[in-house]
Amino acid sequence: MTSTIETVIAILDEREIEYTRKGSGGGKAEHVVLELPGERKLSTTVLLTGGAHGVRVEAFVCRHPDENFEGVFRYLLKRNRRLYGVAYTVDNIGDIYLVGQISDDTLSGNELDRVLGQVLEAADGDFNPLLELGFHTSIQREWAWRSSRGEPLHNLLAFEHLIDKESMPAEGEPVPERYRS
């Protein structure tokens, strides 16, 4: 009889998806770790853990928000209604994850593809909105800091609509007090 993790590995090998197999440090569970490439979130690490009745899917999405917790959590709960096979959750310190379970009965190449596709779509597609909601002030501070030093802004351009450019310092000017941490 093939273990759940062996089935997952066979599917990943068949689809030529790179992964790393890990033990649990003496425990019975085995893990497979893989990276899903994205556009907004450059990569999403996924942990697949074999169990007695299926495989658990876990993916880190974003660290705990700095602000607007209610807005972030409302967004996640509404988003959960439209997700397939996974749901948003937070850990003990408030970091945001996608988690799910695929039972042994439904574990197949197509099902794993669907769930991993959903993880990628959600983590990548929701990344910028989560940053806008939970890190608005940090984004403004970073923009001000970089602007004042003539640093490149290319990886902040997705958030340009959040910036009041008239209040930002010109290159070489000090960062306004409200944007200092």
Largest CA distance in the chain: 68
What are the Cα distances from residue 165, in Å, to 140, 148, 160, 170?
Answer: 10, 12, 9, 9
Quick one: pLDDT at residue 116? 98
Distances (CA, A) of 63 to 39, 41, 43, 50: 18, 13, 14, 25
Q: pTM value?
A: 0.86
pLDDT of residue 170: 67
> Which band of pLDDT confidence, cut at 50, 70 and 90, is reported for residue 168?
low
Instruction: Identify the pLDDT of residue 107.
Output: 96
Query: pLDDT tens digit string along 136-167?
Result: 999 999 988 888 888 888 888 889 898 887 76
Backbone conformation region of residue 105, classed left if phi is above 0, alpha if psi is from -120 to 50, else beta: alpha
Domains in the chain, start-ordered, CATH in brackets?
4-134 (3.30.1460.10), 136-179 (no CATH)
In the numeric block, which tokens belong to residue 114?
A: 């669907």
* Per-residue model confidence as pLDDT tens digits over 31-67: 999 999 999 999 999 999 998 899 999 999 999 999 9
Question: For the segment 103-127, what is each residue's pLDDT rounded down to a tens digit?
Answer: 999 999 999 999 999 999 999 999 9
CB of 36 closer than 8 Å to CB of 135: no
pLDDT at 2 over 90: no
pLDDT confidence band for 171 (50 / 70 / 90)? low
pLDDT in tens, 62-97: 999 999 999 999 999 999 999 999 999 999 999 999
